[in-house]
Chain A
Amino acid sequence: MSTFQSSSQKKGSTFQQRSLMLTNIALIVICFLMLLPIGTTLLISFKREQDVLRTPPVIFPCDTETSAFDLTACRWSIEGYERVILPQPSDTSPTGFVLAGRMLKTYLPNTLLYATATSFVVVLLSAMAGYAFARYRFKGRDLLMVTVIAITSFPLLTNLLALYQMSITLRKALPFLDERIFLIMVYSGFFLPISIWIAKGFFDAVPRELEEAAMVDGCSPAGSFLRITLPVAAPGLTAIFLLTFVGVWNEFLAGYLLISKNSLKPAMFGMYDFLGQNLVNAQLVAAACVIVAFPMVVVFLFARRTFFMAMTEGAVKG
């Protein structure tokens, strides 16, 4: 995408220069508006309770009795974060304290587990299926591919009733089975179809001469897949991994309904739970928001090109 390289070589007329300047100004305003809700949430999360509960509300907790804004008098605080993570002194811990808040202790590790496990399953299975669809012509291939994409017509929301009943039946029939396995399977099932299509697209782009050369040299089909094709298609698989990871991290309803034990529920449930209990303590809710969303923003900033690529590929072609 040329956007990321540099501007086009527009030089010369002042008219063009002025229009470019107007473009920049407009875009700066738009960026400001787009980031405004995030910025205000950050601001709220660093306020004290007294400053959150003020009418009329203040944007910066920096006013004094004499002036409306005094940078030296700002009353920033991490009270909200402290109340989310609840650090408590402990003799056994090497750092001298333990984090007792459920968000950090229970919900976020759960989400991390679900997102990582699902992403690995999806990458592996979609790479295998996508490769077979891209390289082989076999009976029923076209029908299977249409079925895979038609399945996306049934979103998680409409299948959730049946899945919920299935989870109850499973819990009764197989009480020893970890209920997390079912949730990971559900997530995998929902990210597989689009991932298979993305993977197929990437394998289509790998020249098959490469593989044929490997097979002429004595590689098995599986060997040529593992040693030749997989490394070449790695960026596509990274995209699948990241899209699935973010998707599972941000999913709320399935994690909330399909897991019965509170100690196994994901961070989005924790967030929802917080919201129900603490709406008056806006700094607390805002801090929980920041804690839940921050990892994904970091992932995005480091891998934004992969995301842009995967989105345009996935939405337009698949």
Chain B
Amino acid sequence: MSQASSVPAKGFVRPPAARRPVDWFPFWMILPAMLILLFIQVYPIFYTITLSLQKRQPAGWVFVGLDNFARLLRSSAFAESVGHTVVFLAGYTVLTLGIGFIIALLLNNGSVFSGTYLTMIFIPWILADLVVGVVFRLLVLPDYGLFSGILQDPSLFPPKGLSVLTADAARPWIAGFPFPPSPAMVYLILAATWRSIPFTTILLLAALQTINKEVLESARIDGATNWQTIRFITIPLILPTMVVTLLNLVLGGVNGVGMVFSLTGGGPGTSTEVIGYLLYSIGWGSLDFGRAASLSILMAFINLALIMTTLRLTRLRIKD
């Protein structure tokens, strides 16, 4: 970046202005990528917007204005799925960041085997979310899963044991808001956390390794305890990375549905139906593409806000 900034504007081969007024080389280099992006990314955005304003009638698509949005926002399924998403995101981001930070601190302690540990911890990340869902589902299959023996034991989980994927949620403490979450939701959070820990760990570890060791050393000489060093030096120094990691986790959590598909299928009832899964079930379950498109637009706004915040925080330098 610094090298790029040392050179003034215009193409870096400066041709005699009279012979080659415009250098078309960069244009042709960028064109193919832009064409694909236009066709696959930009056009569908506008397509989704028009879809969200229409409704399919037997005669064909009819313009209905904002009716899809109104129907969506009024539906109880939407409110419920927002609640489920909030519970899911809160549990999963806090757990992932907390555990990832602890693992990163441990890995940064200078053990000879840190590289080996990191490799092993990283394997869950390479698995597809669909596969992770299956792996976790096999563990708690009613009666036959390896953990079912423990979980379904009435002496450990009164009154009649716990069958994770079929047990109903407790009565919500706050009317309408799904808290405490159903056992299936807790389990979904655990599975999602398990898969996201590697990602969090490596980002936080990279940040930890940029901290000057002398700063920590001098704090220790001044009599700071381990906890004080972490609390007042390490965490403030890596806070920007933590926030970026958090935003990345939220993005992944909002848009990742593969695990819901294979682990719970949204159930039992609708207790794990997060907003992304609702999009699928409105769109392809009840074939209401207009309403699903209006949900897509709302989700795109959430994503846009998250991405823009991330960019602002990383101070992404476009002008160099």
| Chain A residues packing against B (C-beta within 8 Å) | 1-4, 6-8, 10, 19-20, 23-24, 26-28, 30-31, 34-35, 37-38, 40-41, 43-44, 52-57, 59, 121, 125-126, 128-129, 131-138, 142, 144-146, 148-166, 185-186, 188-190, 192-193, 196, 204, 207-208, 212, 215, 221-222, 246, 249-253, 257, 268, 271-272, 275, 279-280, 282, 285-286, 289, 292-293, 296-297, 299-301, 304, 307-308, 311-312, 315-318
Q: Does B176 contact A (CB under 8 A)?
A: no
Q: Does B175 contact A (CB under 8 A)?
A: no
Using an 8 Å CB-CB cutoff, how does the interface string of B25-49 with A read, 1 for contact, 0 for none?
Answer: 1110110111011011111110110
* A–B pairs, 12, beta carbons within 8 Å: A7-B111, A24-B111, A34-B197, A37-B132, A40-B146, A56-B149, A128-B32, A129-B34, A138-B27, A146-B318, A251-B128, A252-B128
Return chain B residues, CB-CB under 8 Å to A125.
Answer: 32-33, 36
Complex interface: stretch among B4-12, B72-80, B88-96: B4-12
Instruction: Given A186-B40, A272-B262, A285-B134, verify A159-B23 contact (CB < 8 Å).
Output: no
Instruction: Given A296-B127, A316-B314, verify A129-B296 contact (CB < 8 Å).
Output: no
Instruction: Given A190-B40, A316-B206, verify A153-B248 contact (CB < 8 Å).
Output: no
Return chain A residues, CB-CB under 8 Å to B115.
Answer: 3-4
* A136-B112 in contact (CB<8A): no
* B51-A161 in contact (CB<8A): yes
- Expressed in whole angstroms, the Cα–Cα distance for A285 and B128 within the complex equals 15
- Expressed in whole angstroms, the Cα–Cα distance for A212 and B303 within the complex equals 41
Instruction: Given A163-B40, A293-B127, verify A282-B121 contact (CB < 8 Å).
Output: no
Provide the main secondary structure of the chain B interface: helix
Return chain B residues, CB-CB under 8 Å to A158.
Answer: 48, 255, 279, 296-297, 299-300, 303
* A289-B135 in contact (CB<8A): yes
Residue in contact with B39 in the complex, picked from A34, A185, A279, CB distance below 8 Å: A185
* A20-B111 in contact (CB<8A): yes
Shortest C-beta distance, A136 to chain B (Å), equals: 4
Provide the main secondary structure of the chain A interface: helix
Complex interface: stretch among B101-109, B166-174, B178-186, B228-236: B101-109
* A136-B139 in contact (CB<8A): no
Q: Does B138 contact A (CB under 8 A)?
A: yes
Return chain A residues, CB-CB under 8 Å to B47.
Answer: 162, 165-166
- Expressed in whole angstroms, the Cα–Cα distance for A251 and B255 within the complex equals 12
Nearest opposing residue in chain B for A42, CB measure: B135
Shortest C-beta distance, B251 to chain A (Å), equals: 8
Return chain B residues, CB-CB under 8 Å to A157.
Answer: 255, 257, 276, 279, 296, 299
* B51-A289 in contact (CB<8A): no
* A57-B37 in contact (CB<8A): no
Return chain B residues, CB-CB under 8 Å to A312.
Answer: 202-203, 206
Return chain A residues, CB-CB under 8 Å to B106.
Answer: 23, 26-27, 30
Shortest C-beta distance, B195 to chain A (Å), equals: 10
Residue in contact with A2 in the complex, picked from B10, B209, B289, CB distance below 8 Å: B209
Residue in contact with B135 in the complex, picked from A38, A138, A189, A215, CB distance below 8 Å: A38
Q: Does B113 contact A (CB under 8 A)?
A: yes
Residue in contact with A153 in the complex, picked from B3, B130, B148, B303, CB distance below 8 Å: B303
- Expressed in whole angstroms, the Cα–Cα distance for A312 and B120 within the complex equals 18
Q: Which of B278-320 contact A (CB under 8 A)?
A: 279-280, 283-284, 289, 292-293, 296-297, 299-300, 303-304, 306-308, 311, 314, 316, 318-320
Q: Does B129 contact A (CB under 8 A)?
A: yes
Shortest C-beta distance, A8 to chain B (Å), equals: 4
Residue in contact with A308 in the complex, picked from B141, B202, B255, B261, CB distance below 8 Å: B202
* A249-B122 in contact (CB<8A): no
Return chain B residues, CB-CB under 8 Å to A299.
Answer: 126
Return chain B residues, CB-CB under 8 Å to A55.
Answer: 143-144, 149
* A7-B112 in contact (CB<8A): yes
* A297-B3 in contact (CB<8A): no
Shortest C-beta distance, B85 to chain A (Å), equals: 13
Return chain A residues, CB-CB under 8 Å to B206.
Answer: 1, 312, 316
Return chain B residues, CB-CB under 8 Å to A146.
Answer: 318
